[in-house]
Amino acid sequence: DVEHISPAMKQFDYPKTHKHRLCCLRQELIDAFIEQKYVDFYRSIALNLSKLRSTESSTANDTTQQTNVEEAKRIVNEISVEDNSREIIQSACRSIGSVKDNEFDVRFNPDLFQPNVTLSQTV
C-alpha cells in the first residue's frame, strides 16, 4: 500500500500510523458497534430495574430471563416515575461508557481521519 507514496512523502514519515484503525473501519461496523451498545444500555437498565423491583417486593424469583429490547424500552419509559431512576440510568451509562451520565451518548473522535495531509512549508 505504501509503494505509491513518493520518496519525498516517505522522508516526512508519511503515512502516519495510528494507535487504532477506527478510521479504516467500514461504516456498517461502526453502526453495528453503536447498535450493540444501545442494546446493552437498555438491558443494563432493565436488569437494574428488575433487581430494584425484586428487592422492593421482597419476592425471590430465581428465574433468569433474557429481556428483549422492546421490553427494555418499555421499562425505561416506566423508570421516569420511579425514585431510583437517575441512579439506574447513570449506572447503565457507566456500564457502556457513555459520554453523558444521564443518557445514551457514544462518540468517536471526529478529527481522526483526514483525507489529505498538509505538510509544513519549512523543512
Residue range 27-53, pLDDT digits in tens: 888 889 999 999 999 999 999 888 877
pTM over 0.75: no
**3 state SS of 107:** coil
pLDDT confidence of residue 39: 94
Cα angle for residues 54, 60, 66 (degrees, 5° grid): 65
Question: Average pLDDT for residues 75-85, to the nearest whole number?
Answer: 64
Nearest-angstrom CA–CA distance, 59 and 82: 19
Nearest-angstrom CA–CA distance, 60 and 81: 24
What is the pLDDT confidence band of residue 18, given thresholds at 50, 70 and 90?
Answer: low
Judge contact between 50 and 82, C-beta under 8 A: no
